[in-house]
Structure 1
Amino acid sequence: MENRMGLKEQITEDMKAAMRAKETAKLGAIRLITAAIKQKEVDERIELGDAHVLAIIEKMIKQRKDSISQFEAGGRQDLADIEKAELLILSAYMPAGLTDAEIQAELAAAVAASGASGPQDMGKVMAILKPKLAGRADMTAVSGLVKAALSKA
């Protein structure tokens, strides 16, 4: 009975399951995701697909990572632990990450496809890579790899 449900539907089902199981921490994190999705849908008057939902979750993950480092620097391990728990729940919705070799292969293909010849073509290469790698690789790191690859070109 494996009917492929969308990410939004999966999140809604997980929220119901967390309610029934009285998992308050998980429920809280999932409610944050659904609130962010609804906010975006209302603001832009659109129905979000999986790619948009992943982008929202990716942004939330980045916020948690920033908060964790701030809380740990400030000696607030209690708050850092809460953020870490939310980070684990959010990360569960992300697709499996790509290996370095897979990222390099995508990068090489994007450079070839765009005809990039130097750093001035970075935007073209990133435009090809972003939809393919979003949610599956750290785009800041990918950006650095593109810059390095194009500097050699």
Structure 2
Amino acid sequence: MSELKQRISDEMKAAMRAKAKERLGTIRMILSELKRIEVDERIELDDARVLAILDKMQKQRRDSIEQFNTAGRDDLANIEQQELLVIKEFLPQPLSEAELAEIVAQAVTDSGAQNMQDMGKVMALVKPQVQGRADMGAISQLVKNALNS
């Protein structure tokens, strides 16, 4: 079992003992998603894959919060916000703008990218380094800016 998945399981037990109902529900939702993927794909998840799943869940929550706020459903947005806070606990510390710019610049140099057609090469180098630590939409924009300059 991956270290991250084990940590999530341990946090579930702690939430049960503390009778933290909302937190427990979110952690169970995370574990069920991990289990679903393991069963569907017949694999044992490693930390990198668990991070990718958590990152996807984080993005889903952000999108939902935005949609609920637009629709005036603050009650549902608050629920999603609470889930997002729990999910973020298991993700690594976010990277700063300077760190992201440095990673993108290094990837452009390493890949030998010259123009926008090479964006895929750059993203392939950047994505593993920033998974779960930065919004991929923002990374994509940084890469575009770097390739256009």
Report the TM-score range of the alignment, normalised by the length of the smaller protein: over 0.9
Which residue of structure 2 lines up, in the alignment, with residue 93 of structure 1? 90
Of residues 38, 50, 54, the one that matches 1:53 is: 50
How big is the shift at 1:25? 0.2
What is the alpha-carbon distance in structure 2 between the residues aligned to residue 115 and residue 88 of structure 1? 38
Give 1:22's aligned amino acid. Answer: K
What is the alpha-carbon distance in structure 1 between the residues aligned to residue 25 and residue 83 of structure 2? 8
Aligned-residue CA RMSD in angstroms?
1.0
What is the alpha-carbon distance in structure 2 between the residues aligned to residue 95 and residue 26 of structure 1? 19
Question: Structure 1-normalised TM-score?
Answer: 0.93
How big is the shift at 1:56? 0.8
What is the alpha-carbon distance in structure 1 between the residues aligned to residue 97 and residue 71 of structure 2? 33
SS of residue in 2 equivalent to 1:79: helix
How big is the shift at 1:129? 0.3
1:8 paired with 2:5, answer yes
How big is the shift at 1:75? 1.8
1:140 paired with 2:137, answer yes
1:75 paired with 2:72, answer yes
SS of residue in 2 equivalent to 1:145: helix
How big is the shift at 1:131? 0.4
What is the alpha-carbon distance in structure 1 between the residues aligned to residue 68 and residue 116 of structure 2? 37
SS of residue in 2 equivalent to 1:90: helix
1:29 paired with 2:26, answer yes
SS of residue in 2 equivalent to 1:59: helix
- What are structure 1's unaligned runs of at least 5 residues? none
Of residues 59, 64, 81, the one that matches 1:62 is: 59
What is the alpha-carbon distance in structure 2 between the residues aligned to residue 104 and residue 72 of structure 1? 31
- What are structure 2's unaligned runs of at least 5 residues? none
Quick one: percent identity of the two aligned structures? Answer: 56
What is the alpha-carbon distance in structure 2 between the residues aligned to residue 146 and residue 123 of structure 1? 10
What is the alpha-carbon distance in structure 2 between the residues aligned to residue 91 and residue 78 of structure 1? 20
How big is the shift at 1:88? 0.4
What is the alpha-carbon distance in structure 1 between the residues aligned to residue 129 and residue 66 of structure 2? 29
